[in-house]
Chains A and B, each alone.
Chain A
């Protein structure tokens, strides 16, 4: 049988190969691993169109709805297993309109606040000075910036909706309503939240890692000491530990917004295509990886287990910096909102960038993003 996956870090690849070996030992099925180097979902979509699919494959939570709605995945409810201790919102990310589950979550990442303690101390502040709520944190960033050397930002920010969805929704208005339409206008709290970033960029204390600092990624900017704080997923951790061992940092849960804890979760699952040559083998593998092998997989790959039971078993041996990420699993908003989300994501990114550049007010950016998205969403129906 064949398994399709995207390019992963070396640690993850080793763990995957070990898991495959132990799967073959216990079931006698051999697995052909196919790594798709770039534009994973574009490749997968064309495979589905051509009906040449693997038997099981990695599926990102926010890409799942389109495949589910197209009806090309097999329902996997019967294979969730007992006890069902998957974090419920992770499983929900793979649920279709018919309430069936079309993917088994294998692991997840959440955002956390990373603080470079060395730079913080040099600027004359201590960790206790870093506020735990968003509004005060932005204010702190402004004060911190005044004490920093040239070329170092207090905080960096990515413009994508994937970073801001939880914050925007913590004011009670969902970005995609029950009909599937985009709703960004009329959310006063979210407006204030986003405006603070625009002010931050104008004031030079919240910068873009790529555009302003010329770094390839937020993790690279943080590792190179170009910023004191960043909000990133646990995927940066292994690179920070290996490539920048001299950087001292701590992680904290994301700042509270509207007095509520919030973070984003990015969930990856195993899904089985309807046209698979060996769907039973695919299902067996998905089941094995999310049940028997999850503990070994998480330990080997450094990813976070999507089942709370496994998490409890692993807690003692995990990197301390992961604690803030794991705490987020309980309240995280999953990056997945049906087939309208990719449309809204593109338009939001485009318009929010305009607002960050100062060419239009944030309110206007949100209005335009909503209008453009709804016109495009209409076409998908």
Chain B
């Protein structure tokens, strides 16, 4: 064996050893990584993936959760659902809800954020005050709104005294949902306002300065710089608002005592799921089918939104 060959063999040997050591280390790293991930993965598997899979299975069953009986129902649950006028009532209510609440809360949040982003005295004080509704529990807020809008409530009496009309806000189907919408706007707007405010503070100053030099007024600067620069934030706000609207439950639940009245006017998707799951006999499968349908609707609505609002923003 000559020296050259020896060196080559050594090198080969060395490199195998290095590779083996490296692979051992990466194995060790991987198992350490798995060990660190395990608690979370376990939680996700038990409390998220498991229930999701179970719901998918249950949506094809006729299921009595209490007795633990179930039988194959195939797509019958879906047929029942499409045949059910309450499902369509929930669709109508949710659509009205989305069309009213999402634009209003987005525009309001943006407007408030822009005002607060300017030179305002007591800015922190205003932010704190405006943020309070978001911190209030929705149950407490619902109770307060019910006090304001019941037939002896402040708002009702004010309207009665000054305009001479009596509106039964809580028992009139035309008004019950708008009251909940108003409450939702009131409580979620501040949160989105903070999000917009954070976004506004990231918009480069020089853009405004350049446009100011060009002689543009405040409104033009807002419309041509702030709004497009905030597009990714707007996308986030609209998406979260949309999902929030589809999932509205507690306000409608408390306001109607759980039954979605008057005349199904406050019946939302989630309230209907609750009815199927806990109120009626043998309809757990229907509840799960509705949950699946709701998921599909949210996915569709969000991807549609994704196309309408470009999430990358203008200066990407």
The residues of A with any CB-CB pair to B shorter than 8 Å are: 41-42, 45-46, 48-49, 51, 66-67, 69-72, 208, 210-214, 339, 342-343, 346, 349-351, 353-354, 356-357, 359, 372, 375-376, 379-381
Contact = CB atoms under 8 A, between A and B. Distances in A.
A212 B151 contact: yes
B190 interface: no
B286 A211 contact: no
Contacts of A212: 151
A86 B255 CA distance: 39
A45 B264 contact: no
Nearest to B157: A214
A353 B263 contact: yes
Contact of B286 (A48, A208, A213, A379): A379
Contacts of A71: 67
B66 A66 contact: yes
Contact of B263 (A49, A213, A354): A354
Nearest to A372: B85
Contacts of B214: none
Given A70-B64, A214-B153, A349-B261, A342 B280 contact: yes
Contacts, number: 90
A354 B262 contact: yes
Interface in B259-313: 259-264, 275, 278-283, 286
B125 interface: no
The 7 A-B residue pairs with the shortest CB-CB distance in the complex, in nearest-first order: A70-B67, A214-B152, A70-B66, A211-B171, A339-B281, A49-B65, A350-B261
Most chain B beta-carbon neighbours within 10 Å: one of A41, A350, A351, A356? A350
A52 B91 CA distance: 36
B16 to A, nearest CB: 56
A343 B280 contact: yes
By DSSP majority rule, is chain B's interface helix, strand, loop, or mixed? Answer: loop
A213 B152 contact: yes
Interface string B123-161: 000000000000000000000000000111100000000
B67 A214 contact: no
A49 B66 contact: yes
A241 to B, nearest CB: 26
A350 B260 contact: yes
Contact of A45 (B66, B69, B84, B172): B66
Nearest to A226: B152
Contacts of B279: 342, 346
Interface of B: 64-69, 80, 83-86, 150-153, 168, 170-173, 259-264, 275, 278-283, 286
A363 to B, nearest CB: 16
Greatest chain B CB density within 10 A among A67, A375, A379, A380 is at A379
Contacts of B171: 208, 211, 353, 356-357
B67 A357 contact: no
Contacts of B275: 346
Contacts of B65: 45, 48-49
B61 to A, nearest CB: 13
Contacts of A208: 171
A41 B280 CA distance: 12
Nearest to A212: B151
A380 B259 contact: no
Contacts of A213: 151-152
A45 B287 CA distance: 15
A49 B68 contact: yes
A359 B283 contact: no
A350 B80 CA distance: 21
Given A42-B278, A45-B278, A375 B151 contact: no
Given A214-B153, A353-B262, 7 more contacts: A49-B66, A350-B262, A350-B263, A357-B168, A376-B84, A379-B280, A380-B280
Give the dominant DSSP class at A's interface: helix
Contacts of A380: 280-283
B152 to A, nearest CB: 3
Contacts of A70: 64, 66-67, 69, 281
A375 B87 CA distance: 13
A380 B85 CA distance: 16
Contact of A214 (B83, B150, B172): B150
Contact of B264 (A46, A350, A356, A359): A350
Nearest to B264: A350
A353 B190 CA distance: 35
A118 to B, nearest CB: 22
B259 A350 contact: yes
- Which among B83, B153, B263, B283 has the greatest number of chain A C-beta atoms within 10 A? B263
A213 B64 CA distance: 41
Nearest to A379: B80
9 contacts: A45-B65, A46-B278, A70-B67, A71-B67, A211-B151, A212-B151, A350-B264, A351-B263, A379-B282
Contacts of B282: 379-381
A167 to B, nearest CB: 21
B175 to A, nearest CB: 11
Contact of B168 (A42, A72, A211): A211
A211 B286 CA distance: 33
Contact of B84 (A343, A357, A375): A375
B271 to A, nearest CB: 11
A213 B85 CA distance: 32
Contacts of A346: 259, 275, 279
A257 B147 CA distance: 36
Contact of B173 (A49, A214, A354): A354
A69 B261 CA distance: 28
A42 B279 CA distance: 8
B281 A66 contact: yes
Contact of A357 (B85, B172, B260): B172
Contacts of B69: 70
A356 B172 CA distance: 10
Nearest to B76: A379
Contacts of B153: 214
Nearest to A210: B150
Nearest to B77: A379
A45 B283 CA distance: 13
Contacts of A41: 278
Contacts of B68: 49, 51
B58 to A, nearest CB: 12
B80 A359 contact: no
